[in-house]
Amino acid sequence: MNQTFVYASIITIGDELLIGQVIDTNSAWMATELNKAGIWVRRRVAIGDAREEIIHALNEERNIADIILITGGLGPTADDITKPVLCEYFGGKLVVDEGALQNVQQIFARFNRPMLATNLKQAEVPDTCTVIDNKRGTAPGMWFEKEGKIYVSMPGVPHEMKGMMTDYVIPRLSGYYKMPFIVSRTLLTAGIGESFLSELIKNFEKDLPSSLKLAYLPNYGMVRLRLTGIGDKKEEIETTLQQQFGLLKTLVAEYLVTDQDDAMHIVVSKLLKQQHKTLCTAESCTGGYIAHLLTAEPGASQFFTGSVVCYSNKIKEEVLGVSRQTLETTGAVSEETVRQMVKGALALLKADYAVAVSGIMGPDGGSADKPVGLVWVAIGNIEKTITQQFNFRFDRGRNIELTSNNALNLLRKFIIS
């Protein structure tokens, strides 16, 4: 791929990121949007709220990138030092920006809140920057240019940063550079591991045109395959990509879940909406996680009727109608129990389909007969119920994820069968 790339680096600032108190979602979102615009992200760096670290990161990233995007450290408190450090780095002085000041005043007036001196200081910016209006918060963004490089500083609040990126930063960057077209297609597979998948399509990968690149993205029992095309001629690269993507779909057809870049719960949600069917869940070991996944997206009320989190045997028996004899003889983690959970959920929650799960997530609670990671899943409607046993071997969190995704995939196959 002999393309001339425009490279970006992303610097996220905040002690809370380094100690794991806050998860950095900003850089992942920014990288996706930059890639869509034809900008290749070279590196993502997280640093603490320290002057020396910020300056060092700026010096390092300017050596490898054309664009340096910075988030965090623009708040009103003493630990937010990004603005004065940038003022020092670009050789300016802090001045009050009237537009930013008016924005801060209007926000506090709108919510009838008293404004402190520290809040007013948020309207101060280095006089060496171009101010980026913050339509979703109080801290303005800042655009700097130095020695042919572009530096953009934005708030760490995701909602505010996304507004600036979408409304101002991406459009302005697109006007600065002539960038190659970057086009991607992603499909999702399930039921085959990464190494076996690689073996299945090794000849396809070997014969790919030089303008295309294949990436493997494994996660919780599934593997996404992303095919990316890069070139100066958009129609040509899109045509090549579509041809190769179609071939890839054919090769993995036995394991293909979707040819869109969708998570499993999105695939199931779309399927239920398309067929105008409803779903309910009866969850023991997942504690409502399947219901959470399905209702996290807009429009869930079109297909999701409800859930019973039946963690105790008492609830399984009294709410879902699982027989006491079954619980005493085969136990809560058994095929017969999840079958009865499906039947009870369908009767109680009035849905077309039901998912039921019961298992041992760990780290304790297992036995020789029923080890940690043992899970029973049942899927059913008014006419029939199917079951499947799984044996996972990871920590509690990952076992819950695996149970949920495998249960949803089993539901998907049940619906389309």
Check residue 114 and give its pLDDT.
85
| Residue 192 falls inside a structural domain | yes
Query: pLDDT tens per residue, the chain (417 residues)?
Result: 345 789 999 999 999 999 999 999 999 999 999 998 989 999 999 999 999 999 999 999 999 999 999 999 998 888 889 999 999 999 989 999 999 999 999 988 888 888 888 888 889 999 999 999 999 999 999 999 999 999 999 999 999 999 999 999 999 999 888 888 889 999 999 999 999 999 999 999 999 999 999 999 998 889 999 999 988 888 999 999 999 999 999 999 999 999 999 999 999 999 999 999 999 999 999 999 999 999 999 999 999 999 999 999 999 999 999 999 999 999 999 999 999 999 999 999 999 999 999 999 999 998 999 999 999 999 999 999 999 999 999 999 999 999 999 999 999 999 999
Judge if 248 and 294 occupy the same domain: no
**248 touches 225 (CB < 8 A):** yes
Judge if 220 and 316 occupy the same domain: no
- The single-letter DSSP state of residue 181 is E
pTM score, whole prediction: 0.81
Judge if 284 and 211 occupy the same domain: no
Judge if 172 and 37 occupy the same domain: yes
User: Of 258, 276, 307, which closes a domain?
Assistant: 258
Judge if 136 and 198 occupy the same domain: no
Q: What is the dihedral sign for C-alpha 281, 284, 290, 292?
A: positive
> Can you read off the two tokens belonging to residue 169?
């930063």
Check residue 119 and give its pLDDT.
81
| Residue 349 falls inside a structural domain | yes
Which CATH number characterizes residue 37's domain? 3.40.980.10
> pLDDT per residue over 333-355, tens digit each?
999 999 999 999 999 999 999 99
Check residue 5 and give its pLDDT.
83
* Euclidean distance between CA atoms 404 and 398, whole angstroms: 10
Check residue 166 and give its pLDDT.
97
β-sheet bridge partners, residue 226: 186, 215
Going from the C-alpha of 132 to that of each of 97, 125, 136, 169, the distances in angstroms are 11, 10, 12, 9
* Euclidean distance between CA atoms 42 and 226, whole angstroms: 18
| Residue 237 falls inside a structural domain | yes
* Euclidean distance between CA atoms 154 and 160, whole angstroms: 8
For 206, residues 6+ apart whose C-beta sits below 8 A from its C-beta are none
| Residue 104 falls inside a structural domain | yes
Look up the domain containing 163 and give its range. Answer: 6-176
| Beta strand spans in 232-320 (E) | 256-258, 279-283, 304-309
Judge if 20 and 162 occupy the same domain: yes
Which CATH number characterizes residue 393's domain? 3.90.950.20
Judge if 315 and 298 occupy the same domain: yes
User: Of 205, 239, 258, which closes a domain?
Assistant: 258
Judge if 247 and 270 occupy the same domain: no
Judge if 378 and 234 occupy the same domain: no
Check residue 2 and give its pLDDT.
43
Check residue 1 and give its pLDDT.
39
| Residue 1 falls inside a structural domain | no
3-class secondary structure, 121: helix
User: Looking at the 3D structure of the chain, how many domains does it have?
Assistant: 3
* Euclidean distance between CA atoms 70 and 64, whole angstroms: 15
Which CATH number characterizes residue 199's domain? 3.30.70.2860
* Euclidean distance between CA atoms 339 and 342, whole angstroms: 5
Check residue 116 and give its pLDDT.
82
β-sheet bridge partners, residue 149: 146
Judge if 49 and 168 occupy the same domain: yes
Judge if 87 and 150 occupy the same domain: yes
For Cα atoms 232, 164, 60, give the angle at the middle one, nearest 5 degrees.
Answer: 70
User: Of 206, 223, 258, which closes a domain?
Assistant: 258
Judge if 35 and 134 occupy the same domain: yes
